[in-house]
Amino acid sequence: MTVSETDLLTANGAEARVPVTVLTGFLGAGKTTLLNRILTEQHGKRIAVIENEFGEVGIDQALVIGAEEELFEMNNGCICCTVRGDLIRILGTLMRRRDRFDYILVETTGMADPGPVAQTFFVDDEMQEQLRLDGIVTLVDAKHVSQHFEDSAEVREQIAFADVILLNKTDLVEPGDLDELEARIRLMNAAARIHRTRDAAVDLDRILNIGGFDLGRAIQIDPKFMEAEHPFEWVGVYELGADPAQLRLQPGPDPTMNALLLPVGAATPEALEQLLMPAILAFSDEPAVLESGGRIAPSGLHELVLGDAESVFDLDVRTSPPHLPGGQGGQIVSLEGCYALFTQHLPAEFRAVVHGAGGPLTPHLEREFAPDHVHDKAVTSVGLTIPGDLDPKRLNAWMGGLLQTQGPDIFRMKGVLSIAGDDRRFVFQGVHMLFDGRPDRPWGESARENRLIFIGRNLDRAALTEGFKGCLVNAS
């Protein structure tokens, strides 16, 4: 707990505001089952439930209040946002019975947009004073959700907004399909915690008081999801240079495929990891078109043109010095050694094999990357990790402009920033156009860097990266 949070605390150090969990999920995802568990099981917690889809029922352990959805357009300073008038009314009245509960759970209808619900807690002064939006929990029907990914904006938004996703009805789905679904949801929302459930059975501590909007916990995101989106699906590390080598491919699903060959210090995962960013950058370049028989030089991106029969490309690293990423010019390097071959698609799709003098070569190391095409076209997460200190004026200008133009598309945003001249981390989070941030604990020993994640629609990673880099103090 940091000093700057104390204004929200009571004299004895306890958070005075009541945590509110918002429960979303498409019809049939299991919200009713979960609510019934909460209302009937002996879990020892006092929870007030606000139900959206059914009438009003009073139950011993919890209060259930029917709510009629009502949206307000509201001017909040210079920005306009939509809030839920019914929630302000109902929560305001519910708080008169503050002594009766410790948590509030708000169920939204299957078609509800979580945005206005979340915004309500940040723009209404009465709500802000008494309540704390703790987290958005989205129930997902593991069996049927994928068929709604394309046709339902609500389903995508409910996933994008979530702090916790309950992948429910796991008993109706094959384990492999479940892994695939989880991976797909991950790509839409890299920041959420995902739990697999059956009959909506979940430990309530996983959905209540989780601190989803807690600035101190703003960016507890699994680092592997902070990595860039990969324009390649596969990389293999080979030892090249001693003998001639060739990449042989058979006709496959596409007439061309991009490939990149880069030297790598060693056949280790760490060395490969360091090569990913240069490879991503190289893949954004215009490729050199290469017909069968051509030479894949260890520099620049190549577009391999694949014929009707086998195509063969030389992997000749001896005839020209490699282009080293990071401009290590003037350094004397051995041309023989480990090279990483990045391919746009999986080699198996083209039965692609690297042949040496003595036959097919097995890579010392290989890695597959989640292919781009399973990304949901509408909703994605863009995680950025960028070193350097930020100029607060530039950051404000950029963020202000971004939120004004793209606010409706940015559902959630969280991050930890390194502000020039401040030895403390700056933590922030946002919902649509609403932004909340403050300095946090000092950086201390840890390396100063900026880590942020955007979850939303139509996010352009390159533009976000470029815009953000423009806010660094040393940006041109």
Partner 1 sequence: MSRQRVLRSGLRARLREEWKVEVDDYVTALAWSADASRLAVALGSGPIAVLDAADGSACQRHEGHGMGTLALAWRPEGDELASAGQDGLARIWRDGERAVEVAGGASWVERLSWSPDGSRLATSAGRCLRIWDTAGNLQHDLASPEIIYDIGWRPSGRGIAAAGYGGVRIWRWDRLDKPRHLQWKGASLRLAWSPDGDYIATGDQDASVHFWMTASGHDLMASGYDTKVRHLSWDSSSRFLATAGGSDVLVWDCSGKGPAGTRPRSAEVHEAGVGALAFQHQGRWLASGDGQGRLVAWDPRIGPKTVGGASVGGPVTQLAWSPDDRRCAVATSTGEVVVFEFSQE
Distances (CA, A) of 146 to 33, 149, 173, 180, 196: 21, 5, 12, 10, 16
**Distance in Å, CB of 382 to partner 1, minimum:** 33
Q: Does 283 bind partner 1 (CB under 8 A)?
A: no
Shortest separation between residue 127's beta carbon and partner 1, angstroms: 10
56 counts as binding partner 1 under rule CB under 8 A: yes
* Selected range binding partner 1 among 74-82, 345-353, 408-416, 456-464, rule: CB under 8 A: 74-82
Residues 16, 36, 40, 129: which binds partner 1 (CB under 8 A)? 129
**Least distance in Å: CB of 60 to partner 1?**
14
Q: Please, are residues 427 and 438 in contact by the beta-carbon 8 Å criterion?
A: yes
Is residue 39 close enough to count as binding partner 1 by CB under 8 A?
A: no
CB of 69 to partner 1, least distance (A): 10
Segment lying near partner 1 (by CB under 8 A), choices 124-132, 190-198, 349-357, 435-443: 124-132
Judged by CB under 8 A, the residue of 2, 33, 72, 438 near partner 1 is: 72
Among 66, 278, 400, 437, binds partner 1 (CB under 8 A): 66
Among 7, 60, 125, 270, binds partner 1 (CB under 8 A): 125
Residue 126 touching partner 1 (CB under 8 A): yes
Of the candidates 4, 33, 76, 256, which one interacts with partner 1 according to CB under 8 A? 76
Please give the residues from 85 up to 104 whose contact with partner 1 meets the rule CB under 8 A.
85-86, 88-89, 93, 96-98
65 is a site residue for partner 1 (CB under 8 A): yes
- Nearest C-alpha neighbor of 443 from the set 422, 474, 471: 422
Distance CA 181, CA 171 (A): 14
Residue 215 DSSP label: G
Q: How far is the CB of 81 from partner 1 (least distance, A)?
A: 11
Using CB under 8 A, count the residues that bind partner 1: 25
Among 7, 60, 68, 445, binds partner 1 (CB under 8 A): 68
Nearer to partner 1, 85 or 244 (CB): 85
Contacts of residue 272, Cβ cutoff 8 Å, sequence gap at least 6: 235, 237, 264, 340, 365, 367
Which are the contacts of 156, defined by CB distance < 8 A and separation ≥ 6?
149, 188, 376, 378, 379, 457
Question: Could you give the 3-state DSSP secondary structure of residue 388?
Answer: coil
Distances (CA, A) of 317 to 271, 298, 411: 19, 6, 47
Among 22, 23, 63, 261, binds partner 1 (CB under 8 A): 63
Q: Does residue 363 contact residue 236 with C-beta atoms inside 8 Å?
A: yes
Sign of the CA dihedral running 415, 416, 422, 424: positive
Q: Is 79 in the site for partner 1 (CB under 8 A)?
A: no
Q: Which is nearer to partner 1, 109 or 385 (CB)?
A: 109
Which residues are CB-neighbours of 265 under 8 A, at least 6 positions away? 271, 274, 338
Question: Shortest gap between Cβ of 104 and partner 1 (angstroms)?
Answer: 16
Task: Determine which helix (DSSP H) or strand (DSSP E) holds 353, and give its type and residue range.
Answer: strand 353-356
Dist. CA 324–CA 300, nearest whole Å: 10
Q: Is 203 in the site for partner 1 (CB under 8 A)?
A: no
240 vs 407: CA distance, rounded Å: 49
- Burial degree of 317 (CB within 10 A; 0-12, 13-18, 19+): buried
Residue 224 as a binder of partner 1 (CB under 8 A): the answer is: no
Position 336 contacts partner 1 (CB under 8 A): no
Residue 81 vs residues 127, 368, 378, 404, 467: alpha-carbon distances, Å: 16, 42, 21, 11, 24
> Smallest distance, Å, CB 97 to partner 1?
5
Interface with partner 1 (CB under 8 A): 55-56, 58, 63, 65-66, 68, 70, 72-76, 85-86, 88-89, 93, 96-98, 124-126, 129
